[in-house]
Amino acid sequence: MTAAFLMDLGLFFFGPVRNVVRCPRAGFAEFPFEGSVGGTIISRAMGFYNRRLAQIAQKRLAAGVYGSMNLNSRTLLKGFEPNRHAWKLILRGVRIWLRAELRSAFLQTPHSAAAECQGAAT
């Protein structure tokens, strides 16, 4: 969830918020992710990593290790503005996402471990 939060927030500044900051009157006249090529790219990127993070969460839940990193975990931000510092949020989110990918890459669900044992026994 932290990875999605950070990347969503950072990419939101490069999509919908950027238009509003540049020209408030015209920016509010458009829907957030419609019309511009950048908005379409950003919305597709957000959809991709959110689906992938959901798959990781389902795999961790099946393996029985879901939420193991939640104890004493907080995401605190000093503040955020639609400027170049949004890249720090995105990079921090990507780093957390990649760590989650690595941790879940070799997880085995109880069902798959039982299948391996049965296959080895025959």
Mean pLDDT of 21-40: 70
**Ordered DSSP codes for 52-103:** HHHHHHHHHHHHT-TTTT-TT-----S---SSTTHHHHHHHHHHHHHHHHHH
What distance separates the 2 farthest-apart alpha carbons in the chain? Answer: 71
Q: What is the pLDDT of residues 82-91, one digit of tens each?
A: 777 888 889 9
Higher pLDDT, 39 or 10: 10
Q: In this predicted structure, what is the pLDDT of residue 60?
A: 87
* Residue 118, pLDDT score: 60
pLDDT value at position 74? 75
For the segment 39-62, the average pLDDT, to the nearest whole number, is: 88
6 pLDDT higher than 80: yes
User: Is the confidence at residue 79, as pLDDT, over 80?
Assistant: no
